[in-house]
Amino acid sequence: MSHLIGVIGAGTMGNGIAQTAAGNGFEVVMCDIKEEFVERGFEAIGKSLDRFVSKEKITAADKTAILGRIKTTTSLDDLAECTLIVEAATENFDVKRQIFEKLDEITGENAILATNTSSISITKIAAATGRPEKVIGMHFFNPVP
């Protein structure tokens, strides 16, 4: 069974999470609210991978393959087939609540919904869904990759 990973937020944390997942062979859908945000996040991943190439940690072909595993979008609906979604949006409960309500509607019942929050109660976020047992905290430290 292949796993599709969704990442919500293309900023520093989100693009780092997307890069790490794609670098480990997973197909990734990186989502943010504006096209310019996902473009900037994708460009940041490319620059980060360039540093890995220059340090001979990966090859140019590896970089191309990693970037090829990352799709970008501005629509949460494009995350519907993901088996794991990591939310790395702004630290605002109302924003996170709205995201998790939408994810609960569009994703399969076995999808794991994760938050990268550093300060908001995971229980409180999980209560925005009909499946709190499938909501987890997955906090990454900056920088991710």
Q: pLDDT tens-digit profile of 19-69?
A: 999 999 999 999 999 999 999 999 999 999 999 999 999 999 999 999 999
Residue 44 to residue 40: CA distance in whole angstroms = 6
3-state secondary structure of 32: coil
- Whole-number average pLDDT of the chain: 96
Structure confidence by residue, pLDDT tens digits, 84-116: 999 999 999 999 999 999 999 999 999 999 999
Annotated catalytic residue within 139, 142, 143, 144: 139
For the chain, domains (ranges, CATH) are 4-137 (3.40.50.720)
For the chain, the helix, strand and coil percentages under 3-state DSSP, each to the nearest 5: 45, 15, 35
Query: Which of 81-109 are b and which e, b meaning 16 or more Cβ less than 10 Å from the residue's Cβ?
Result: ebbbbbbbbeeeeebbbebbebbbebbee
Output the pLDDT for position 121. 97
Residue 8 to residue 10: CA distance in whole angstroms = 7
**Is 139 in the active site?**
yes
